[in-house]
Amino acid sequence: MLAVLSPGEVAVTLTDRSGDFTILQNMLPSILALFMFFSSPSTHYQLNGYGQGTSYHISYYAADSLVGTSDIGNILDMVDSSMSLYKPYSLINRFNASSEGILMDRHMEAVVARGIEVCKATGGQFEITVQPLVEAWGFGVVKPENPPDSATIRALLPCTGSSKLKIKNHFLRKTQSCVKIDLNGIAQGYTVDLIAAHFDAKNIHDYIVELGGEIRISGKKPGGQPFQIGIESPEDDEFIPRPIRKILVVPSGGVTSSGNYQKFYESKGKKISHLINPKTGFPLDNELISVTVWSKDAMTSDAYDNALMGMGMKKGLEFVKKKKGIEAYFIFRGADGKVRDTASAGFNSKLQKQ
């Protein structure tokens, strides 16, 4: 959604991913990209459209319109053909339907390999083999009538675990036929990185790319002004205006968010979050409301924001302090029920001083 903040300044409300997306839904938390226009030999170009079940907003500065919506559409279609669970012909669906595995393309291989890497780095808090659990809880392509019981979850857990995946000569093999993968927690970040790489290949280095709430930034606006990303306060009700809580100022990198305050349903008076604990098989239930992550690329941020949500605030913050290359901002509910926030030192250093 576009809203004029002041003359020459436009705000774009961004959204999260992990399923069917619509603008102003599923942002965890919503991220606001502030684009300011200045006179310069470089021309400002803006691309807006839809793909991967969500919307995208791209702003770049160049001498000519070297990148158009058709270029973005081709990239989105290419990734969908590889990793979309909503495309029956995709490679990921072929893998999930297979008994042993498939030969991957370069896109699926890059994402699966990174997913396995992050799984190991986080002690299994991020897991790409959660597809059976995600679907059982009603957040997959197939929607069951009722939430699963404990017996169903126990039956599905043996089918999860990245240790059951093996990559050799571009072939992804499963050690058990019931293993199925879901790359929604990382593939959209990868897509944003692909779009960024397309701009770099065109020798365009001043841009901000947003797809479903995943952001990749490079360079500055004319006049040397940096791009700014506003992190909004969480609200369960999507129709309640969300004030900007913090403003992130970075010259480059990927910024993504994950959280549990909008994408959920209620069953027997209890909220069922779309974020599943891969170790227990049940939806996450901790004090965290959302996590925003910065790293050098969107795919890395995308994977770690989910993992940090699973760790909880204290363990998550300790993990970020020790892990090189990522910084994080946490919004959580304190013991008194009040919404609070904290961040790693590196993330704090990137926030606009208030």
Sorted by where each starts, the structural domains of the chain and their CATH numbers stand as 77-174 (1.10.3980.10)
Distance CA(286)–CA(273), nearest Å, equals 11
Give the contacts of 233 (CB within 8 A, at least 6 positions apart): 29, 242, 243, 244, 245, 331, 339
Give the contacts of 264 (CB within 8 A, at least 6 positions apart): 271, 272, 273, 274
Interhelix angle 298-311/187-201, nearest 10 degrees: 160
Q: Is the dihedral of CA 262, 112, 55, 10 positive or negative?
A: positive
Taking residues 48-55, report their average pLDDT: 93
pLDDT tens for residues 130-178? 999 999 988 888 888 888 999 999 999 999 999 999 999 999 999 999 9
What pLDDT does 222 receive? 87
The answer to whether residue 315 scores a pLDDT higher than 50 is yes
pTM of the model: 0.86
Q: Is the dihedral of CA 339, 342, 348, 350 positive or negative?
A: negative
- Residues of the chain by 3-state class (helix, strand, coil), percent to 5: 30, 30, 40
**DSSP code, position 299:** H
What pLDDT does 296 receive? 97
Identity at 80, one-letter amino acid code = D
At 78, which helix (H) or strand (E)? Answer: helix 69-83
User: ω before 29 within 30° of 0 (cis)?
Assistant: yes
